[in-house]
Amino acid sequence: MQKKNEKLLDKIVKKDYNNELERVLEKKPYSENVKSILLSILYKLETSYKDYKQVKQDVVGKDELIGNVIYSIENNCDEIKLIKPHSKESEIIGDRTFLVEKKRKRIICYNIERKVLYCLAKISRRNKIVKDDYFIVNKTLSDLINVGACINQVEPLRDFNGYSWTTIPKEIESITHNLIYQNLLLLVGNEFMNKWTNNKEFIMDYMELFQNRLEELYGKKEANELIELLKEISVYLEVRFDKKTKEKMLKQKEIVEKELSQMQDNEAFVEKITEEKRKIANDIKIIDETINNKHLLEDEYERRNEALPLEEKIFSMRILAKMMSDEREGKLEKLEKLNSLLNPQKYVGYKKELEEKEKYLSLVDKEDIDKNIDKLKLKLQKLFFKCFDKKIEKCDSRQDMLKLIYEFRYYMMLPYDYENDIYEVKDLQKEVEEATKKVLERAHKLKVIERFSKQEDVNYELLKYLFQNRNINIEDIEVKLIKDKENNYYIQVFDGNGVGEKREMPNSENMNKKDLAIRFNKKVKVFY
């Protein structure tokens, strides 16, 4: 009776989702093709959500997941144009697969559901989620995290179809962005990352909150190292994918290097500051005289408008006076900053600030950007394993352990590149093995997973495939130890449907049968 009620409730909820979307679509000038693809996306998100949550565990609620999609359609997207590859219309987006124009509330993209959903996620996000106080990385980190969050929002549609979990790397917008974002989700939790990426105000400094959370969970050393890696890799990714930003950064680099060079000679630097102060003071004087003199204001109004295109022309002298007052405030702030630089303590602080800027700007014109990205990505995974060790140590209940097992299996199956998932990466084999053994040992102690051998290495070989499979419900997995006529040993791993994958046991000659807690040729459950 309870199951029937749950099914009925599911139908009611589904009907409400569809009704809500159809209500929104009635107000939109979308084509029937666009409406159809949006309804299909919604249906597939509903269908896939249960498996998605089971596999990943710590995810946004279904109501919020689907609600965000409907909200984006209703409030942030007035036009969706679907195009075919290599068509005349596709010339609008060039060699890309989509174009998101936030100001025009317009999406142009290929007629592919996951592309449409990615665009809906992207059009709703604030461009900057890191405060301007964090020079350069305010943009690069914002872009890194935002892209990762958009990819993450597409995942339940992309990788789940209601009966299986399949990840095709080429369908992920950026494997590196996705991997890094999933690292962060696993380290600080979905709730924190969801609040950060959906933050509409700059009241809270989420970088500071992020630092504090990392320190609380994993220690100050690991927190500092992780954030530094994120900053550096974000700069490399920015210049790798955004040529315009790279050009701006190179210009900034020249300015910073020039200023640092001038600061090496204190006398010359003071002279330069004094000269800048004189110029700014004179500019302020001219602004005051112009605002308070009708004829001078008229002349300035005509002079400025002559140089401006039609869409940027100043409508009245009153508006010009307001603009000039704002300019005056800006110059006063700059004058105050220059005055503070003549203070020895402020001078030292400013020099350190410039050196910090130069550190990140120096990355912009490095050679072999892709190699540097790969190097940092690998470092980040090694650090992730260190932090994950601490998660394992803190796990002290069966329920928490079961959740951690799912999360660890999910991480192991993340694409590292186009050829390998995490567990297959050669440079991570040591970390993978050590972490797997620690997870298993903790799971044995908490009576979550059966121990199949007293020998740690044998136990590892028997159970490691638990974290290298895509069975939705990991608790349904069973294994069988097989010995053939030639005395070769195999482990066969069965999913919940009884389908088994057979793999040879390495180093089976070292196996001590007396230490085994599993019979040959008998299928046994892994979980208690």
Q: pLDDT for 81-138, tens place per residue?
A: 999 988 888 888 988 999 999 999 999 999 999 999 999 999 999 999 999 889 899 9
- What pLDDT, on a 0 to 100 scale, did the predictor assign at position 15? 56
Number of helical (H) and strand (E) elements in the chain, helices listed first: 18, 7
Pairing verdict, β 79-83 and 98-101? unpaired
- DSSP-derived 3-state class of residue 175: helix
Per-residue pLDDT tens digits of the chain, which is 528 residues long: 445 444 444 444 455 888 999 999 999 999 999 999 999 999 999 999 999 999 999 999 999 999 999 999 999 999 999 999 888 888 889 889 999 999 999 999 999 999 999 999 999 999 999 998 898 999 999 999 999 999 999 999 999 999 999 999 999 999 999 999 999 999 999 999 999 999 877 788 999 999 999 999 999 999 999 999 999 999 999 999 998 999 999 999 999 998 888 888 778 788 888 899 999 999 999 999 999 999 999 999 999 999 888 878 898 999 999 999 999 999 999 998 888 887 877 778 888 888 989 999 999 999 899 999 999 999 999 999 999 999 999 999 999 999 999 999 999 999 999 999 999 999 999 999 999 999 999 999 999 999 999 999 999 999 999 999 999 999 999 999 998 888 888 999 998 777 778 888 887 776 787 889 888 889 999 999
324-329: Cβ within 8 A, 24+ apart: 324/287, 324/290, 324/291, 324/300, 325/287, 325/291, 327/287, 328/284, 328/287, 328/288
C-alpha angle 85-22-3 in degrees, rounded to nearest 5: 105
**How many whole angstroms separate alpha carbon 206 and alpha carbon 130?**
7
Strands (E), 111-266: none
Q: Are 28 and 159 in contact (CB under 8 A)?
A: no
Q: How far apart are the first and last CA of the chain?
A: 28
**How many whole angstroms separate alpha carbon 460 and alpha carbon 474?**
17
Predicted structure pTM score: 0.84
Q: For residue 232, what are the CA distances in angstroms to 39, 303, 446?
A: 40, 45, 39
- What pLDDT, on a 0 to 100 scale, did the predictor assign at position 14? 54
pLDDT digits (tens, 9 = 90+) for 194-231: 999 998 777 889 999 999 999 999 999 999 999 999 99
